[in-house]
C-alpha cells in the first residue's frame, strides 16, 4: 500500500501571506495526486488533481506542484475562508487503493 505523509500537521499563517503544505509518497506515483479541502462540519472539496491542475471553480490562489514522491500545495494571499484541513490523495496504484494523507490543518492567525 502506498503511504502518503503530510507535513506539517498544523500550520498557522497570517492573512495575506502564503502557505506551503507538503505531501510525500512512500514510492513514486508520477503526478497521480489530488488535494482536497475540508472545512469543519463539511464534506471535502476537490482542489487539485494531476498534481497541478485546478479543479473547476478553484481560485488561482491555489496551486500544486511536484512529481514522483514529493508534492506541494501552495495557497497565496491567504484569506480567513482558507482555514481548513487539507488532504493529499494518491491514485497511482492498481488495483486501486486511493490512500489519503493524514491531513494538514491550516489556521489563519
Partner 1 sequence: QVQVVESGGGVVQPGRSLRLSCTASGFTFSNYGIHWVRQAPGKGLEWVGIIWYDGTETYYADSVKGRFTMSRDNSKDTVNLQMNSLSDADTAVYYCARGTYSTSPLMDVWGQGTTVIVSS
Q: Return the C-alpha cell found at 56.
A: 473547476
* CA–CA dist 42, 26 (Å, integer): 29
* Closest to partner 1 by CB, 14 or 28: 28
* Closest to partner 1 by CB, 71 or 87: 87
* Closest to partner 1 by CB, 13 or 100: 100
Contact 25, 2 (CB under 8 A): yes
Interface with partner 1 (CB under 8 A): 1, 32, 34, 36, 38, 43-46, 49, 55-56, 85, 87, 89, 91, 95-103
Contact 104, 10 (CB under 8 A): yes
Closest CA to 91 of 48, 22, 44, 31: 31
Q: How far is the CB of 22 from partner 1 (least distance, A)?
A: 16
Q: How far is the CB of 34 from partner 1 (least distance, A)?
A: 6
Amino acid at each position: 500500500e502506498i503511504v502518503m505523509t503530510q507535513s506539517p500537521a498544523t500550520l498557522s499563517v497570517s492573512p495575506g501571506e502564503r502557505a506551503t503544505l507538503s505531501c510525500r509518497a512512500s514510492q513514486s506515483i508520477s503526478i497521480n495526486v489530488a488535494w482536497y479541502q475540508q472545512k469543519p462540519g463539511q464534506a471535502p472539496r476537490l482542489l487539485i488533481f494531476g498534481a497541478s491542475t485546478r479543479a473547476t471553480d478553484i481560485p488561482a490562489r491555489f496551486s500544486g506542484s511536484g512529481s514522483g514522491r514529493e508534492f506541494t500545495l501552495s495557497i497565496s494571499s491567504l484569506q480567513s475562508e482558507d482555514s481548513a484541513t487539507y488532504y493529499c490523495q494518491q491514485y497511482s496504484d492498481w488495483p486501486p487503493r486511493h490512500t489519503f494523507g493524514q491531513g494538514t490543518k491550516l489556521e489563519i492567525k
